[in-house]
Amino acid sequence: MQQFIKDGIDSGFVVLDDVLNLYPEPEKHVPELDALFDYLLNKKIDVFENVSTREEQEAQKSTQELEKELESMIKLEKGESLDPIKIYLKEIGTYPLLKFEDEISLAKRYENEDEAARKTLVVSNLRLVVSVAKKHIGRGLSFLDLIQEGNQGLMKAVEKYDWRRGFKFSTYATWWIRQAITRAIADQSRTIRIPVHMVENINKLYKIQRRLMQKYNRTPTIKELSRALEMSEDEIKNLFRISQRTTSLSTAINDEEDATLEDFIKDPNQSSIYDNVTNKFIKEYLFEVLDTLTPRERKVLVLRYGLEDGKPRTLEEVGRQFNVTRERIRQIEAKAIRKLKHPSRAKKLRGLM
């Protein structure tokens, strides 16, 4: 480890494969890897990975080839249209690919604050972003979102690229692109954040799963995945478990209405206001305060919080009783609560606590 760190400090960068060689089973050493990456970041030691010949060839594919390849993959993403993707691919296909000497020349110009050189470095490598992003389809973000995040990583790579080190820009940029995408997947697509190193393993799992599905024309078994990835069956099951996405209570029910899951789901553990108002005097005092509201506002609060029968209603249920939309009930409720916060009423309510 000491020699590894020393080499990184001397050269200013390390290769990801060398990092993972220190921990052959990275999913079992997440804390250690996180600490190592934080240390490298603090020491301003870049981490990049070698780009395979296959990856470089994919980045050089024509727009037509990319469209054909993506068409079947995008079908995995419900609701995502291929049309805007085709338009984007057509646009970036107009930018010529760069030779190594072109990259060096542009990097030198950018060092002298030539913004045009910076822009050329970015736009000429947008196809590299697409080639990396397509490997993460189906992982919680739309394809265009993956591209957008990858483009952020590409621009960061342009800022940090040092041509004096002698490696191709695509070699350096691929790490930053993939890092940006995997972090976005971990941070944006789920409520519970998964460490980036674990996300890499999940990506490998789904990549192998898709490959075996094409080979066997069926969903591969846990045993087959375990053999292909050289992991135990328990580790495969654990990766599937942690890769499951959480569902937000704010998730829309359909496109026609703005109803969400929280409008239909009651929390069985939530204390009923009715249960807390068992004392007859307190209940009467509370209703005296509610009587200062309009009849409709009073009725909405009574139904919403179950003040009479101990049975709280959803916005949808109250809306049906008033023959109005759920949103209208929400507005009435919000207005009523604002009134209750008025000092004259709030003082009386505080007396109940």
Domains defined for the chain, CATH in brackets: 2-48 (no CATH), 53-189 (1.20.120.1810), 199-246 (1.10.10), 261-350 (1.10.10.10)
User: What's the average model confidence in pLDDT over 164-183?
Assistant: 82
pLDDT tens, residue by residue, 127-149: 899 888 888 877 777 888 899 99
Residue 55 pLDDT exceeds 60? no
pLDDT tens, residue by residue, 329-341: 989 999 988 888 8
Q: What is the pLDDT of residue 348?
A: 63
Q: What is the pLDDT of residue 76?
A: 44
Q: What is the pLDDT of residue 109?
A: 93
pLDDT tens, residue by residue, 199-243: 678 878 888 888 888 888 888 899 999 999 888 999 888 888 877
Structure tokens at 12: 């200013």
Contact yes or no for 28/178 (Cβ under 8 A): no
- CB environment 84-93: b (16+ within 10 A), e (fewer): ebbebbeebb
d(CA 77, CA 266): 30
Phi then psi for residue 260, to 5 deg, are -125, 170
Q: How confident is the model at residue 56 (pLDDT cuts 50, 70, 90)?
A: low
Q: How confident is the model at residue 305 (pLDDT cuts 50, 70, 90)?
A: confident
pLDDT tens, residue by residue, 9-24: 766 667 777 777 777 7
- How far CA 184 is from CA of 54, 193, 197, in Å, comes to 25, 10, 13
d(CA 275, CA 298): 19
pLDDT tens, residue by residue, 73-83: 555 454 556 67
d(CA 128, CA 97): 10
Residue 113 pLDDT exceeds 50? yes
Q: How confident is the model at residue 65 (pLDDT cuts 50, 70, 90)?
A: low
Pairing of strands 46-48, 13-15: parallel
CA angle, 38 then 40 then 45, to 5°:
145
pTM higher than 0.85: no
d(CA 167, CA 169): 7
